[in-house]
A and B are shown apart, each in its own frame.
Chain A
Amino acid sequence: MQAVKINKLHLDDLPWIIEYDESKCIQCGKCSASCSFGAIKPVVELRRKPSGGLQKPSFDRLLVIKQQVSFEHHCRGCGMCSRVCPNGAIKAVRNPNDRYAVRYRAAKADSLKKGGRSNLNTEGRTLDKIKIGRISQMTDPSLDAARHQFELRTPFGRVLSADKLGLHNDGGKMELSTHLPPNRWIYPIILGDMSIGAVSWRMWEAMAIATAYLNEVMGIPVRMCTGEGGIPVRLLKSKYVKYMILQIASGHFGWNRIIQAMPDMVEDPAGILIKIGQGAKPGDGGLLMASKVAKYVQEIRGVPKADLLSPPTHQGLYSIEESVQKMFLSMNAAFNFRVPVAIKVAASVTSVSVYNNLLRDPYNIVGGFFLDGLAAGTGAAHQISLDHTGHPITSKLRDCYLAAVHQGRQGEIPLFAGGGLGQTGSFAADAFKLICLGANGVFTGRLLLEIAGCVGNETGKCNACNTGLCPAGIATQDLCLTKRLDIDIVAQNIVNYFIATDIELKKLMGPIGNSTLPIGRSDALITVDKHISNRLDIQYIC
């Protein structure tokens, strides 16, 4: 008999417990075959036959499904087992006595890593406590959302105030004497920001196809940010690159191929996004676990198979002014000042200082300010960063907008907000409220994963993106798992979701009587929460 030692990891330490009903099991093996984590296995167990003590004990041998107890093969609660079970004999149930995080650190002397999203939601969502309460009725007519022609586009790129336009009178004709900073009118939702590597090639291509389709077939001018894991050369050299915002983060992964492709590019990219930080793990660099650094990822990034840790800062940038002079200038120069260059930072108590400083940029080369809130997702992070660092998006976006308003410079550097949008079901409502609070647009990555079939949630389900064992074939580079993902269905579902979101945005614009995006129209918002009312400067109602 194997003795049990009290310090050994035990089933009751794990976050998820498999509930299994052997009387319903037909021993088809589909559950264990589907579990990418190897968390369940068929085993033979003994059952003592009743003998009343008159005979020597005898046993039945019974084939059952048993949960594995190990750090490497523990259940993540993804639910693939219950999905494939023909009889509903098995499911993962949250363990209220979970001590996994303690046991892991104690056993491994290493920080706990996680993918997906923060699972420590203690504050509730501010956006859910805000309603759109200023309805146009007799004061000014509401618009018919289904039939009115709305203009949903938003500027991406530096917008100059009239006095800086450099207009002069040339023999009675108005002429521009200066080079205008590049500006693109785009849909106010930017997709992606997820790298090749963090997500599978099928997921990444599905997002790119959906973006192209929305533009070319539906006439919805969405843009996709590539994330920083390089861009396939075929895409760079295609006309579709005009829908792509190329990202450069502290790792500078993949830029070699972008630069090599420049002479053969037929279109300029939609923009460039300098990623300084991300909301899910602010102040920490990118992390791609070795298990996801597949051969093609190695090629495109120019690295060997290893855990890829990007530095938390862009090395060589030591101040805001220097980042403008060096990073913005270089990225503007990359496409000869034709392509808008924006920056993404994690929301932080310091965000306003950064934004104010960028507003003073004398070269007019800062084309957008992306703020990423703490509820954002990530492919992999230290759990301590995910759960305990960061700043919610709503108040910081508002702070930045009002800081610009204070100087009469709102809209000059367009604000984009992201991080946990759509978490409680309606992405359009979240987007609309942030736009009313001052955002020019919003961005989302995690929502796309959920559209694609990600089973994770905010209360600890799955969130195993860091393992490379994504059961949905999304956050993995494994061939078997990626092949679970249907590229056409994923792309179609993303397209469908955006068509629905487009309808829903109009359903919110109509009642407040706006034909164009209600950027900064905080008079449309109300809240029953006095603190939110005070902090965001919106009307308190009861």
Chain B
Amino acid sequence: MTKEVFKIQTLTNNKRMSTQELLQLINSKIKEGYTDFDVQACGQHNIGGSSWALNPNEELHFNITNPGQRVGAMALKGTNIYMEGSAPADVGWLNSGAVITVNGDCGDTAAHCAAGGKIYAAGRVGTRSGALMKHDPKFDSPEFWVLKNTGSFSFEFMGGGIAVVCGWDCDDYESVLGNRSCVGMVGGTIYVRGNIFGVASCVEIINLDDNDINFLTEGMKQFLSQINKSELYEELTDFSKWHKIVPMPQNHKQTNITVAEFRKNNWIEGGIFGDFIHDDFVVNPLPATSEGRVHIPLWHGDNCVACDICKNTCPQSAINSEDKKYYTNSENCIGCGICEAVCPKNCWEIISNRKEIS
């Protein structure tokens, strides 16, 4: 049964229907049971968006020419939009299930925030396309198919979904994703055919596996038939030219060599002062023993009565005696000066251990 197509000419007698008038007209006709629309637009926004058929078993169909921005914005599953020719910015903005086909180029931010449905673009798409795409696992993954290339900064902050950039007619392009694409991308997959340059460091470019090839093989047929370019199938399914871009795993951290390794491996051998002073680069604890002591004790035995007070009081047990001669074990002595303090006969003297490097 052929359904009646409701035709809307938005420019009559040089008078343009406003966006509000057009959208309200469409919705009132949907409530009357219409499902198919032919809209000869005049730059009106949001055509085909946030609408659903009166009968839940039916789908909406829009044939649109000359639309304004945000065609298919906030469109639901069961909405089918076809545009002959190009469309301006924000095609499929927040698309939540519609199948949107643009048989031409798209403006900037195509498929922006798309979280469902499919968007098919038969040409080039503008800057920031595919940005913030998402995938809610309770619904089918959004798909965004582009025959040629995207502008710069595309797929920024992408959180989920699948994008396919076929790179057809792009041989002269340095990058089919423009420059600085994928910045902040944390989820989803982008399949790309052709040159890639300047994508953000938070993603990795890897080779396709069998699942990817199966997906692209199937999806490509549908895409090309949707845009009437089935003759390109052979060319675009030569998977040697394809890569996929996925975000780096969250726990992936760029690992640089440590500064200590840099000093050891890259820095001037032996240190910049190594030709005239010798430093072993050992780090002394606080307080230090041996040569690292700030103060060192000296024993003068003339008055010593061998009372052993110093020996018994030394907190580091660093004092020994032999034949009434006392000496410190520098491996233990920290130079605290307690021996000097407790000796009743002033036999210990604490002197500064200041010295220069040689």
Where the two chains meet, the residues of A that have a C-beta atom closer than 8 Å to any C-beta of B are 26-36, 38, 41-44, 63, 80, 83-84, 144, 146-149, 201-202, 205, 208-210, 212-213, 216-218, 232-235, 238, 240, 294-296, 299, 477-488, 491-492, 495
User: Are A209 and B292 in contact, with the CB atoms below 8 A?
Assistant: no
User: Are B357 and A201 in contact, with the CB atoms below 8 A?
Assistant: yes
User: Are A217 and B262 in contact, with the CB atoms below 8 A?
Assistant: yes
User: Are B291 and A63 in contact, with the CB atoms below 8 A?
Assistant: no
Distance in Å: Cβ of B82 to nearest Cβ of chain A: 33
Assess A232 versus B336: contact at CB under 8 Å? Given A212-B267, A478-B356.
Answer: no
Distance in Å: Cβ of A213 to nearest Cβ of chain B: 5
In the complex, chain B residues whose CB is within 8 Å of the CB of A80 = 286
In the complex, chain A residues whose CB is within 8 Å of the CB of B249 = none
Contacts A/B (CB < 8 Å), 29 sampled: A28-B315, A29-B337, A33-B287, A33-B294, A33-B295, A41-B341, A42-B341, A144-B183, A147-B157, A147-B184, A201-B273, A205-B271, A208-B272, A210-B259, A212-B267, A213-B259, A213-B262, A217-B257, A233-B275, A235-B272, A240-B267, A294-B357, A296-B277, A477-B357, A479-B357, A480-B355, A483-B282, A484-B283, A488-B258
- Cα A28 to Cα B337 in complex, Å, equals 10
- Cα A202 to Cα B356 in complex, Å, equals 13
Which residues of B in the span 149-183 have a Cβ within 8 Å of any Cβ on A? Answer: 156-157, 180, 183
B230 part of interface (Cβ distance < 8 Å):
no
Assess A38 versus B356: contact at CB under 8 Å? Given A27-B338, A208-B272, A486-B283.
Answer: no
User: Are A234 and B294 in contact, with the CB atoms below 8 A?
Assistant: no
User: Are A34 and B180 in contact, with the CB atoms below 8 A?
Assistant: no
- Cα A213 to Cα B261 in complex, Å, equals 10
User: Are A234 and B274 in contact, with the CB atoms below 8 A?
Assistant: yes
User: Are A44 and B271 in contact, with the CB atoms below 8 A?
Assistant: no
Assess A480 versus B293: contact at CB under 8 Å? Given A29-B338, A32-B337, A42-B337.
Answer: yes
Of B180, B184, B256, B357, which one neighbours A482 at CB under 8 angstroms?
B357
A29, A240, A479, A485 interface centre (most CB from chain B within 10 Å): A29
- Cα A232 to Cα B272 in complex, Å, equals 6
Which residues of B in the span 330-358 have a Cβ within 8 Å of any Cβ on A? Answer: 334-338, 340-342, 350, 352-358
User: Are A218 and B354 in contact, with the CB atoms below 8 A?
Assistant: no
B24 part of interface (Cβ distance < 8 Å):
no
In the complex, chain B residues whose CB is within 8 Å of the CB of A218 = 256
Q: How many A-B residue pairs have CB under 8 A?
A: 168
Assess A480 versus B273: contact at CB under 8 Å? Given A33-B336, A492-B258.
Answer: no
In the complex, chain A residues whose CB is within 8 Å of the CB of B335 = 33
Assess A483 versus B257: contact at CB under 8 Å? Given A29-B334, A234-B275, A235-B268.
Answer: no
- Cα A205 to Cα B342 in complex, Å, equals 43
User: Are B284 and A491 in contact, with the CB atoms below 8 A?
Assistant: no
In the complex, chain B residues whose CB is within 8 Å of the CB of A146 = 184
In the complex, chain B residues whose CB is within 8 Å of the CB of A147 = 156-157, 183-184, 200
B258, B272, B336 interface centre (most CB from chain A within 10 Å): B272
Distance in Å: Cβ of B144 to nearest Cβ of chain A: 21
Distance in Å: Cβ of A93 to nearest Cβ of chain B: 21
Distance in Å: Cβ of B43 to nearest Cβ of chain A: 24
B250 part of interface (Cβ distance < 8 Å):
no
Q: Which residue of B lies closest to A149 (CB)?
A: B180
Distance in Å: Cβ of A506 to nearest Cβ of chain B: 13
- Cα A18 to Cα B293 in complex, Å, equals 22
Q: Which residue of B lies closest to A84 (CB)?
A: B286
User: Are A83 and B281 in contact, with the CB atoms below 8 A?
Assistant: no
- Cα A43 to Cα B99 in complex, Å, equals 90
User: Are A29 and B268 in contact, with the CB atoms below 8 A?
Assistant: no
User: Are B356 and A477 in contact, with the CB atoms below 8 A?
Assistant: yes
B1 part of interface (Cβ distance < 8 Å):
no
Assess A480 versus B291: contact at CB under 8 Å? Given A29-B315, A205-B273, A296-B357.
Answer: yes
Distance in Å: Cβ of B259 to nearest Cβ of chain A: 4
User: Are B272 and A30 in contact, with the CB atoms below 8 A?
Assistant: no
User: Are A33 and B355 in contact, with the CB atoms below 8 A?
Assistant: no
Q: Which residue of A lies closest to B261 (CB)?
A: A488
B2 part of interface (Cβ distance < 8 Å):
no
In the complex, chain B residues whose CB is within 8 Å of the CB of A488 = 258-260, 263, 281
Distance in Å: Cβ of B87 to nearest Cβ of chain A: 24
User: Are A42 and B338 in contact, with the CB atoms below 8 A?
Assistant: yes
Of A30, A232, A491, which one neighbours B287 at CB under 8 angstroms?
A30
Of A35, A217, A483, which one neighbours B284 at CB under 8 angstroms?
A483
Q: Which residue of A lies closest to B256 (CB)?
A: A217
- Cα A412 to Cα B21 in complex, Å, equals 58
Distance in Å: Cβ of B260 to nearest Cβ of chain A: 4
In the complex, chain B residues whose CB is within 8 Å of the CB of A32 = 295, 336-338
Q: Is the interface of B mostly helix, strand, loop or mixed?
A: loop
Q: Which residue of B lies closest to A218 (CB)?
A: B256
Distance in Å: Cβ of A263 to nearest Cβ of chain B: 17
Of B263, B270, B337, B353, which one neighbours A480 at CB under 8 angstroms?
B353
- Cα A413 to Cα B266 in complex, Å, equals 35
Distance in Å: Cβ of A269 to nearest Cβ of chain B: 14
Q: Which residue of B lies closest to A28 (CB)?
A: B315
Assess A487 versus B281: contact at CB under 8 Å? Given A35-B294, A36-B294, A480-B293.
Answer: yes
What 19 new A-B contacts, CB under 8 Å, besides A491-B260, A495-B259?
Answer: A27-B315, A29-B287, A29-B336, A29-B337, A33-B287, A33-B295, A41-B337, A41-B350, A42-B336, A42-B337, A42-B340, A63-B338, A144-B183, A205-B271, A209-B259, A296-B356, A479-B355, A480-B355, A487-B281
User: Are B262 and A295 in contact, with the CB atoms below 8 A?
Assistant: no
User: Are A33 and B356 in contact, with the CB atoms below 8 A?
Assistant: no
B313 part of interface (Cβ distance < 8 Å):
yes
B55 part of interface (Cβ distance < 8 Å):
no
- Cα A294 to Cα B355 in complex, Å, equals 9
Distance in Å: Cβ of A9 to nearest Cβ of chain B: 21
User: Are A38 and B315 in contact, with the CB atoms below 8 A?
Assistant: no
User: Are B358 and A483 in contact, with the CB atoms below 8 A?
Assistant: no
B316 part of interface (Cβ distance < 8 Å):
yes
Q: Which residue of A lies closest to B358 (CB)?
A: A295
Which residues of B in the span 100-121 have a Cβ within 8 Å of any Cβ on A? Answer: none
Q: Which residue of B lies closest to A477 (CB)?
A: B356
Q: Which residue of B lies closest to A482 (CB)?
A: B357
User: Are A201 and B279 in contact, with the CB atoms below 8 A?
Assistant: yes
Q: Which residue of B lies closest to A483 (CB)?
A: B284
User: Are B337 and A33 in contact, with the CB atoms below 8 A?
Assistant: yes
- Cα A495 to Cα B260 in complex, Å, equals 11
Of A44, A63, A232, which one neighbours B273 at CB under 8 angstroms?
A232
User: Are B315 and A294 in contact, with the CB atoms below 8 A?
Assistant: no
- Cα A149 to Cα B316 in complex, Å, equals 58
In the complex, chain B residues whose CB is within 8 Å of the CB of A210 = 259
- Cα A30 to Cα B287 in complex, Å, equals 6
B276 part of interface (Cβ distance < 8 Å):
yes
Assess A63 versus B334: contact at CB under 8 Å? Given A34-B286, A477-B356.
Answer: no
B288 part of interface (Cβ distance < 8 Å):
yes
Distance in Å: Cβ of A502 to nearest Cβ of chain B: 14
Assess A63 versus B272: contact at CB under 8 Å? Given A84-B286, A217-B257, A492-B259.
Answer: no
User: Are A33 and B293 in contact, with the CB atoms below 8 A?
Assistant: yes
- Cα A36 to Cα B292 in complex, Å, equals 12
Distance in Å: Cβ of B195 to nearest Cβ of chain A: 20
In the complex, chain A residues whose CB is within 8 Å of the CB of B341 = 41-44, 63
In the complex, chain A residues whose CB is within 8 Å of the CB of B357 = 201, 294-296, 477, 479, 482
The 6 closest A-B pairs by CB, nearest first: A29-B336, A33-B287, A488-B260, A33-B334, A232-B272, A42-B341
- Cα A234 to Cα B277 in complex, Å, equals 12
Distance in Å: Cβ of A483 to nearest Cβ of chain B: 4
Of B256, B286, B334, which one neighbours A484 at CB under 8 angstroms?
B286
User: Are A83 and B273 in contact, with the CB atoms below 8 A?
Assistant: no
In the complex, chain B residues whose CB is within 8 Å of the CB of A240 = 267-268
Assess A216 versus B291: contact at CB under 8 Å? Given A63-B338, A209-B259, A479-B355.
Answer: no
- Cα A146 to Cα B350 in complex, Å, equals 57
Contact with A along B47-90 (1 / 0, CB 8 A): 00000000000000000000000000000000000000000000
